[in-house]
Amino acid sequence: MIRVGSIRLVLLVGVLVVSLSGCGCFYQSMRGEQAPPAPSAAVAKPGPSEVEKQVQAASALGKEGAAVSAVMLKDVHFDFDRYFIRPQDAEILKQDFSWVKANPGTRVRVEGNCDERGTVEYNLALGQKRADATKSYLVTLGADAALLNTVSYGKERPVDPGHNEAAWEKNRRAHLEPVK
């Protein structure tokens, strides 16, 4: 016969598991972070070359020349399985910060990305650490933390669809995107 005490214990454990399963999303929303949007079919395609991006940016400027989406902030890259800002990438972030400083009040989304290796969950967590490290560095330079939002895309948005070290190096990055 099953004892009443063991049934209560099982029910208590079940209630705890269900209630704690939502804590991650709650914590993420409290920090002002956003869940990554669902990947679209265009994600798997290789991105435009740097020259094509500049041509698109120039055509997006229009008459006033002030379109936020036309800004070309540079990506910072990371070593395999790491989220620390390297010295050469610190210099890139200093250049990006000068744009942020010149455009006060403009919101910037910091997108953390990974290469294709590893599980979806692991890469989402690593991408978030990369985005957070990038945001923290910009804040130490003087950027307003309230204007910097972080999001992790994990391995879902590669810039290079290749399956080799050269492609993986390009995909391990934090991308800064001005937001209207």
Number of H helices, E strands in the chain: 6, 4
Q: Convert the pLDDT of each residue in 87-110 to its tens digit.
A: 999 999 999 999 999 999 999 999
Instruction: Identify the residue whose tokens are 């020259």.
Output: 51
Q: Kindly state the tokens that stand for 9.
A: 């214990």
Domain ranges of the chain: 73-180
**C-alpha span between 119 and 42 (Å, rounded):** 21
**Contact call for residues 106 and 113 (beta carbons, < 8 A):** no
Q: Convert the pLDDT of each residue in 8-46 to its tens digit.
A: 777 777 665 555 555 444 444 444 444 444 444 444 444
CA nearest neighbour of 77 among 122, 112, 27? 112
Domain 73-180 has CATH 3.30.1330.60: yes
